[in-house]
Amino acid sequence: MNHLRGIYTIWYRDILRFWHDRMRLLSSITFPLLFLFVFGTGLSTRMGAIGSGFDFTQFIYPGIIGMTVLMSSFMSGVSVVWDREFGFLKEVLVAPISRASVAAGKALGAATIALLQGVIMLILAPLIGIHLSLGTILALLPLMFLLAASLGSMGVLLATRIRSMEAFQATMQMLMFPMVFLSGAFFPIEGLPAWMNVLVKINPATYGVAPIRQVVLGATADSTYNISLLGHTLTIWNEVAIMAAFGAVMIVLAIWSFRYQE
């Protein structure tokens, strides 16, 4: 009860802040839009169909949804650093709510905002010739949320250990771009060179992006969208399970780390 109230309050504040700062929403989807329309359109004309008859723009569309959600949730960790710098964290730390609920509330807030941005990306589907049924959208929401919550927790974990804004942003970029590029968001992940294959498979984001693509483009047995791990072709449930396990580890570490920061 006490924990729920704490989580809710922390979450509520982050949503409120986001609402005050609605312009951020616009700027945060500029980057994915550029990717989708400039990069996608530019390369589509050079490339043939990928997988079962989708052009390049259509192929990267779910990847870019994944990228949007991942980047937004991961970067939200900066609010913890921000709060520390501006002193507000102190108000939170002397309040009668547990450190665990603060960390969880932060991760949830990050996830909610990222989910919202993912949903905005979904609205673009008709523009690039992809039909999303209501069922598809309902299936995408939990998938996006899972990715967002996991990466949001990772962001909070990082923020509890890194005190300066500059260091946080540098570390963030160092981790975020490899995660995005090696997640299969922009290219099929079959038949890659061995070194890259290993990096893609150990990248947790891979298991967040793949299910989104399988749901958006239709989950066929087409191996282009599927991940094979150690000789097995993973089902969408396997991928979800891996992502959930990663998310669970991250939130536990984030809570633990938050509790033991001075």
Q: How far is CA 2 from the centre of its chain?
A: 29
The residues that touch another protein, with contacts defined as CB under 8 A, are 2, 5-6, 8-9, 12-13, 16-17, 20-21, 83, 86-98, 163, 262
Q: Which is nearer to another protein, 224 or 261 (CB)?
A: 261
> Nearest CA to 124 among 203, 185, 33?
33
Q: Pick the closer one to another protein by CB: 86 or 195.
A: 86
Shortest distance, CB of residue 161 to another protein, whole angstroms? 9
In the complex with another protein, the residue whose CB is nearer, 98 or 169, is 98
Q: Nearer Cβ to another protein, position 2 or 223? A: 2
Alpha-carbon gap, residue 194 to 177, rounded angstroms: 20
The phi and psi torsions of 89 (rounded to 5 degrees) equal: -55, -30
Q: What are the start-end ranges of the H helices in 76-133?
A: 78-85, 88-93, 99-122
User: Minimum Å distance from CB 254 to another protein?
Assistant: 19
Cβ-based nearer residue to another protein, 231 or 262: 262
Output the smallest distance, CB 210 to another protein, in A: 36
The CB-of-89 to another protein minimum distance in angstroms stands at 8
Q: How far is Cα 150 from Cα 111, in angstroms, rounded to an integer?
A: 8
Count of beta carbons in the 10 Å neighbourhood of residue 200: 19
Query: What is the rounded end-to-end Cα distance, in angstroms, of the chain?
Result: 26
Instruction: Give whichever of 150 and 160 is closer to another protein, judged by the CB atom.
Output: 160
Centre a 10 Å sphere on the Cβ of residue 81 and count the other Cβ atoms it contains.
23
Output the smallest distance, CB 19 to another protein, in A: 10
Least distance between another protein and beta carbon 163 (Å): 7
Per-residue burial over 121-133, b if 16 or more Cβ lie within 10 Å, else e, is bbebbeebebeee
